[in-house]
Amino acid sequence: MPANPGALTTTPSDQDLPHPQAILVAMLPVTDVAASARFYTRLLGLTVLREFVHDGRVTGCSLSHPRAGFALSLRLRASLDGPADLRGEHPIIWRVTDSAALERYRAHAAALGLTPTSRRHDDADLVAVVDPDGIEVLVGIPSRPWERFQGYELVADGYRRSHERSLLDGGGTP
């Protein structure tokens, strides 16, 4: 039995846990639903398949493609109960199949005039663009398997590997 049975790093057996296959719906808070819907439609080839109205005003929508297997929902930031600002963050990293697909995505984003940047993270090769709300949209392919824990610390030039045990379990600082 583990030393801390409630620890966050405790993993049930594969037989006990139905692992998700992919994201079904991800939601982003946005300033302008229409502008963001146009951006993601052009960038990712999605279509508006749901629209949500409150008091005659569109407060959200869901974008998808009939064969995509996921949806991206956009929610009007002003309609939320509290602050929801993800500028400068990357709440979703979209996965593509291989480096050729990643290059096609980079070329597509460049053709749209979005000035994509490429970078290598310890976990993935990534291409980034910024959406109308300043949210970083990352698309990538894993560069190594996610089989064990790895902690990262933010330093002046980005993140660096820093610890191999979770600090959330009471391990202190790296």
What is the per-residue pLDDT for 22? 64
pLDDT of the chain, 174 residues: tens digit per residue? 344 444 555 555 556 656 665 677 888 999 999 999 999 999 999 999 999 988 888 989 999 987 888 889 999 988 888 777 787 777 888 888 899 999 999 999 999 999 999 998 878 899 999 999 999 998 989 887 777 778 888 788 777 788 888 777 655 555
To 5 degrees, how large is the angle CA 114–CA 101–CA 123? Answer: 85
**Among 48, 42, 138, which residue's Cα sits nearest to residue 89?**
138
What is the per-residue pLDDT for 173? 54
**Among 44, 52, 89, which residue's Cα sits nearest to residue 74?**
52
What is the per-residue pLDDT for 3? 46
What is the per-residue pLDDT for 142? 87
Query: Which residues is 133 bridged to in the sheet?
Result: none
What is the per-residue pLDDT for 125? 92
* Angstrom distance (rounded) from CA 76 to CA 57: 10
Q: How far is CA 17 from the centre of its chain?
A: 23
CB atoms within 10 A of CB 60: 20
HSE toward the beta carbon, residue 28, CA cutoff 13 A:
27
CATH, range 23-85: 3.30.720.120
* Angstrom distance (rounded) from CA 109 to CA 129: 8
What is the per-residue pLDDT for 5? 45
What is the per-residue pLDDT for 70? 84
